[in-house]
Amino acid sequence: MKKLINAADSVVEDALAGLAAAHPALRVRNRVVHRADAPRPGKVALVSGGGSGHEPLHAGFVGHGMLDAACPGEIFTSPVPDQIIDATQAVDGGAGVLHIVKNYTGDVLNFEMAAELVEDVEVASVLVDDDVAVQDSLYTAGRRGTGATLFVEKIAGALAEEGAPLAEVARVAREVNERSRSFGIALTSCTTPAAGRPTFDLPPGEVELGIGIHGEPGRTRVPLAPARELVAVAMAAIHGDLPLRDDLLVLVNGMGATPLIELYVVFAEVEAIVRGKGARVARSLVGNYVTSLDMQGFSVTVCRLDATLTRLWDAPVETPALRWGR
Amino acid sequence: MKKLINAADSVVEDALAGLAAAHPALRVRNRVVHRADAPRPGKVALVSGGGSGHEPLHAGFVGHGMLDAACPGEIFTSPVPDQIIDATQAVDGGAGVLHIVKNYTGDVLNFEMAAELVEDVEVASVLVDDDVAVQDSLYTAGRRGTGATLFVEKIAGALAEEGAPLAEVARVAREVNERSRSFGIALTSCTTPAAGRPTFDLPPGEVELGIGIHGEPGRTRVPLAPARELVAVAMAAIHGDLPLRDDLLVLVNGMGATPLIELYVVFAEVEAIVRGKGARVARSLVGNYVTSLDMQGFSVTVCRLDATLTRLWDAPVETPALRWGR
Amino acid sequence: MDTDFFLAWFAGMAELIRLRRDHLTELDAAIGDADHGTNLDRGFAEVRQALAEWPPTSPEQVLLSASNTLIRRVGGASGPLYGTAFRQMGKALDAPVTPAGFAAAFEAGVRAVARLGKAAPGDKTMLDALAPASRALTQAVQEGVEVREAFERAARAAEEGALATIPLLARKGRASYLGERSIGHEDPGAASSALIMAALASVES
Amino acid sequence: MDTDFFLAWFAGMAELIRLRRDHLTELDAAIGDADHGTNLDRGFAEVRQALAEWPPTSPEQVLLSASNTLIRRVGGASGPLYGTAFRQMGKALDAPVTPAGFAAAFEAGVRAVARLGKAAPGDKTMLDALAPASRALTQAVQEGVEVREAFERAARAAEEGALATIPLLARKGRASYLGERSIGHEDPGAASSALIMAALASVES
Ligand SMILES: Nc1ncnc2c1ncn2[C@@H]1O[C@H](COP(=O)(O)OP(=O)(O)O)[C@@H](O)[C@H]1O
Ligand SMILES: Nc1ncnc2c1ncn2[C@@H]1O[C@H](COP(=O)(O)OP(=O)(O)O)[C@@H](O)[C@H]1O
Ligand SMILES: [Mg+2]
Ligand SMILES: [Mg+2]
Ligand SMILES: [Mg+2]
Ligand SMILES: [Mg+2]
């Protein structure tokens, strides 16, 4: 394993120091990253968080028009309730706080505990579970939250910035999740700093289908194929669950170590399939946004837009990783 | 080699199709990427280009406030004169065209040939050569152009957008280059699609110092060390050539497959060294911007700012890879 | 069983988990996200430290302190789950602690895990070690065997339960994302639960 | 030497370069950017195609057509350099082509490379194969040996010149970035120049 780190157990701390130094509009303390201008009186605040190793998610999405605070846990380990409580109290402007939680047992439990313990703040919660690679069932942990998290954070963040009340922000956040689906494919595993070697072995010539964002293996392993075929697999899985129709917001996401040139090759195939179904890529994003350390591979996330969601997606945002309109 | 591609010889074509599909404000034809709103009458136009494999450089920097056109060559191969001539003629708005050329023999020769052959367009040219890992000498090919290309394109682009004449845009572009220095370190080699295996072998536990952006080996190979020590090497090389003073613009750049969390670890060390020298990181950028396919590693680029350059850096930009202020 | 007994139990857990940290992480790498050993090692080391800094004066205090540390410092799934287990066990404990009281409190802790995790035995989680351990303990106490022997039976049941997760298809936790591919691997949480019970059986009394 | 001779020369180059493409790319991987074989193979294949599509009617036209294709389709350093070499050679060629005329025109092409690349023999570039080849050719022609024998001497000189780049420290092109580490590797452009001369020596006449 070769990594640009000082020590395996200081990675999160060191990276947060870098984040703070690079972005004067953010404040970082006690493992909470929040907007320097928080709390904003009267505005619903958005708090998210999860394990580290998914950068720029979540801390890179803190800023105007998106999150008010993020709680980074250890690598691939959800944050602890104290962080979430701190963040919630730090950014509450009196209008309540929305917790955006990816559907993993650890994230769910820690956010639930925090929500129970936090005092004098109205808290609502939205669970993101967009990954169609995982079967949805009452008897399992359910689907994982992956790329749609970015959509939920951006769109709910824009609505909160407009002054909408907590219930409305939460409703739209849930709607975005319900309208979104993802599927991911890995060319390589990732290596956590603590483990020091790849989480799983993936021989040359094989890829993992249906991976998540924690280096966990996928549902099946198949031979490496041209991008066109891999994209077809991902899009079929998505389309089978949520038919591709009308205007779509599409994220072609790298897993952390995927060169941009390859993501554009993937995007061309995604767009062709969308067009082939008579639908339209109305908005898109291509890049490494919801990552799994140094994993190579991609995921596609699709959200069915309507006029309101499109307007909110287009609204100004100013964060380290997403910025437009100001 | 595992890559998200359809075929080794269609990578550039396929990625350009994706770029065109993802960015309606761009036009892509005959290996030229240009602003859809070009030519802009009366505005000096900026044209750059170089081998592909460095994404988002250059095509990802085409748009308002930066480049008017980019000419992507084959992987790591400079564009041919025809492309450059096409681009130059397509975007000239009557105020002349600035060619921004990274200092590589191939790029220099092809841009020179194009400049000679282009008709009825006033062309000026700026050479970017910021890499202090290479000794500068009259008897060699001189220094390579790396990270400073982004600074030159952004700052000269902003000046052109303000309506400055060609000579002035060229002068400031050269000034940015003169005020900028870079140094890069690789943890792994990269693999070109055509070669299909790593350009050089780098054993576990070793890194290459003083690498460029074409997968070429560096000046020396040393044992892997903590980020703090690697950054110290890079910063000493830069400081030895251009003392770190006053306000700096700093790019901590990933080589294409470097996870963002590691780049923030690196940035924290860079900022500490800058502060230790009594200088200040006034503006910064952290991410994979001037890349070498799937190489892991980083480079640091530093530019000594003044009030004008700072204003131009802050000016609005709207491109696929850099966007703020609109 | 006095305060020292409980302190010794947690010291034993911390030691065993440190020893088996990489193994737990490897189990988690196969069907999870390769952090279970690191998470628990960090957490139990802090449990020990907190117990040393603010010495508790009752078994209940030991359990509540450990619970607090685990919930506040571990994160992930296992932090809240183990934290909740020890919290509910602590609350259910009557002084002085008898073998029957211990077994009943332990059972309360295990139930709390099932409730919080919405899991049942057979889902391929820590419950597959904890539930049989609890059953074995309760039964041994009812049979009136020596407490040492009762703990050993519980540890054996936990160990067997952990190994019995190998052929199971995971329905909870990260391993559930793998579907059929979760079969053939021991659940890391069940493995760490077996260590917790092994530590119980090794407390010098 | 008529038009067919020159066509056969370019056909031979294209074949040899295709055969040695991966080798040239490997040489470039060691001290450059691993694209020399791919670049030239793409370029010379297109040279052949263009020559077939618009059949030239004189040696000069063959050279100018090849030059055009190389400059317009190859990119990198070698495209303009080889393109310029053939262009200047073509321009310097008088009809009918005599051995002495060929040698003089070839020399003009080599000089053009040196001028464009601001390079001299010893810099570890294609010039280290081209310059000795040109010298050998001129001398052989002056000695009045058979043209076939003259081309063979030129090819041998190019091959030797290419191998002689191995111990050199590069001062031009990408290999110069490596400093001392460029020593010990054959220059890919010198190697491809040797192939160009080998193709010349193999033309059936
Ligand atoms: N819903 C659940 N109920 C009970 N135990 C669970 C549940 N989900 C996960 N676990 C246990 O937690 C273990 C994983 O812990 P850990 O790796 O520390 O957390 P994470 O899965 O968040 O990375 C699993 O092996 C399993 O035994
Ligand atoms: N300035 C120069 N003068 C002469 N030949 C040069 C010069 N620079 C590079 N070359 C030749 O070009 C070869 C590299 O060609 P190629 O790999 O196709 O281009 P690039 O270096 O742009 O990738 C070198 O091996 C060298 O022989
Ligand atoms: Mg985890
Ligand atoms: Mg090249
Ligand atoms: Mg885990
Ligand atoms: Mg080359």
Q: Chains near A, with 3+ CB pairs < 8 A?
A: B, C
Mean pLDDT per block of 10 residues along chain D (205 residues) reads 97 98 96 95 97 97 98 94 98 95 98 97 98 98 96 98 98 93 97 98 89
Averaged pLDDT for residues A273-286: 98
B171 shares a domain with B248: no
Q: What is the per-residue pLDDT for A326?
A: 87
Q: What is the per-residue pLDDT for C64?
A: 98
Does a structural domain hold residue A321? no
Distances (CA, A) of C205 to C1, C5, C97, C193: 9, 7, 14, 21
Which of B114, B144, B178 lies at the terminal end of a domain, its last residue? B178
Q: Chains near D, with 3+ CB pairs < 8 A?
A: B
Domains of chain C: residue spans and CATH: 3-202 (1.25.40.340)
- For A63-114, the DSSP string reads SBTSBSEEEEEEETSPPPHHHHHHHHHHH--SS-EEEEEES-HHHHHHHHHH
B168 shares a domain with B188: no
Please list, in sequence order, all residues whose beta carbon lies within 8 angstroms of the beta carbon of residue A162, skipping any fewer than 6 positions away: A315
A38 shares a domain with A170: yes
Q: What is the per-residue pLDDT for A217?
A: 85
Does a structural domain hold residue A3? no
Classify residue D143 by burial, with Cβ atoms within 10 Å: 0-12, 13-18, 19+. Answer: exposed
Q: What is the per-residue pLDDT for A61?
A: 98
Rounded CA-CA distance D118/A268 in Å is 42
Rounded CA-CA distance A163/A155 in Å is 13
Q: What is the per-residue pLDDT for B1?
A: 80
| Cα B80 from chain centre | 18
Question: In chain A, which residues touch C (CB < 8 A)?
Answer: 51, 73-82, 104-106, 109-110, 113, 133-135, 139-141, 144, 192, 194-195, 199-200, 212, 214-220
| Min distance B323 CA to chain A CA atoms (Å) | 6
Does a structural domain hold residue B240? yes
B266 shares a domain with B155: no
C150-170 per-position pLDDT tens digit: 999 999 999 999 999 999 999
Rounded CA-CA distance B280/B245 in Å is 7
B240 shares a domain with B168: no
B290 shares a domain with B151: no
- Determine the residue of C21, C125, C128 to mutate for testing ligand 1's pocket, defined as the one with the most ligand atoms within 8 A of the Cβ atom: C125
**Cβ proximity of A67 and A47 under 8 Å:** yes
Q: What is the per-residue pLDDT for B135?
A: 80
Looking at residue B8, what DSSP letter applies? G
pLDDT level of residue A1 (50, 70, 90 thresholds) = confident
Size of interface A-B (CB pairs under 8 A): 190
| Min distance B108 CA to chain D CA atoms (Å) | 9
A169 shares a domain with A211: no
The verdict on a CB contact (< 8 Å) between B110 and D80 is yes
A220 shares a domain with A77: no
Q: What is the per-residue pLDDT for B139?
A: 76
Averaged pLDDT for residues A281-291: 98
pLDDT level of residue A192 (50, 70, 90 thresholds) = very high
Does a structural domain hold residue B283? yes
Q: Which of A23, A58, A64, A214 is catalytic?
A: A214
A189 shares a domain with A174: no
Establish whether residue C187 lines the binding site of ligand 1, counting it when its CB lies within 6 angstroms of any ligand atom: yes
Identify from B229, B265, B273, B292 which residue to disrupt to test chain A contact, counting A C-beta atoms within 10 A and taking the largest count. B265
Rounded CA-CA distance B190/B186 in Å is 9
Classify residue B138 by burial, with Cβ atoms within 10 Å: 0-12, 13-18, 19+. Answer: exposed
Q: Is the pLDDT of residue A137 over 90?
A: no
Closest Cα partner for A79 from A130, A131, A33? A33
Structure tokens at A112: 């639930």
A186 shares a domain with A224: yes
Does a structural domain hold residue A4? no
pLDDT level of residue A32 (50, 70, 90 thresholds) = very high
- Per the structure, the count of domains in chain A is 2
Q: Is the ipTM here above 0.90?
A: yes
Taking 70 as the pLDDT cut, the residues of chain B under it are: none
A19-29 per-position pLDDT tens digit: 999 999 999 99
Averaged pLDDT for residues A214-242: 95
Indicate if A214 belongs to the active site.
yes
Residue holding tokens 């070839």?
D106
B60 shares a domain with B187: no
Predicted model pTM? 0.96
- For B253-284, the DSSP string reads EE-BS--HHHHHHHHHHHHHHHHHTT-EEEEE
Tell me how far the alpha carbon of residue B77 lies from the centroid of ligand 4, in angstroms.
Answer: 4
Indicate if A99 belongs to the active site.
no
Which residues of A are less than 8 Å from C32 in CB distance? Answer: 214, 216
Q: Is the pLDDT of residue A31 over 90?
A: yes
D and A adjacent (3 or more CB pairs under 8 angstroms): no
For A281, list phi and psi in degrees, rounded to 5.
-80, 100
Q: What is the CATH number of the domain that holds A131?
A: 3.40.50.10440
Which residues of A are less than 8 Å from B227 in CB distance? Answer: 4-6, 14
Residue type, B220: T
Does a structural domain hold residue A264? yes
Which of A143, A178, A213 lies at the terminal end of a domain, its last residue? A178
pLDDT level of residue A57 (50, 70, 90 thresholds) = very high
Does a structural domain hold residue B273? yes
Establish whether residue C141 lines the binding site of ligand 1, counting it when its CB lies within 6 angstroms of any ligand atom: no
Rounded CA-CA distance D133/D127 in Å is 9
Q: What is the CATH number of the domain that holds B248?
A: 3.30.1180.20
pLDDT level of residue A140 (50, 70, 90 thresholds) = confident
Please list, in sequence order, all residues whose beta carbon lies within 8 angstroms of the beta carbon of residue C104, skipping any fewer than 6 positions away: C92, C138
Q: What is the per-residue pLDDT for B192?
A: 96
B168 shares a domain with B208: no
Q: What is the per-residue pLDDT for A141?
A: 85
**Where does C54-146 have alpha helices with state H?**
59-73, 78-92, 99-117, 127-143
Taking 50 as the pLDDT cut, the residues of chain C under it are: none
Range of the structural domain that residue B189 is part of: 180-313
Residues with CB under 5 A from ligand 3 (ion): A 76-77; C 33, 35, 76
Which of A178, A194, A225 lies at the terminal end of a domain, its last residue? A178
Helix (H, G, I), strand (E, B) or coil at C99: helix
Please report the sign of the dihedral spanned by the C-alpha atoms of residue B187, residue B190, residue B196, residue B199.
negative
Q: Which of B34, B54, B64, B99 is catalytic?
A: B54
Rounded CA-CA distance A99/A149 in Å is 12
Q: What is the per-residue pLDDT for D184?
A: 97
Q: What is the per-residue pLDDT for C178?
A: 92
Does a structural domain hold residue A108? yes
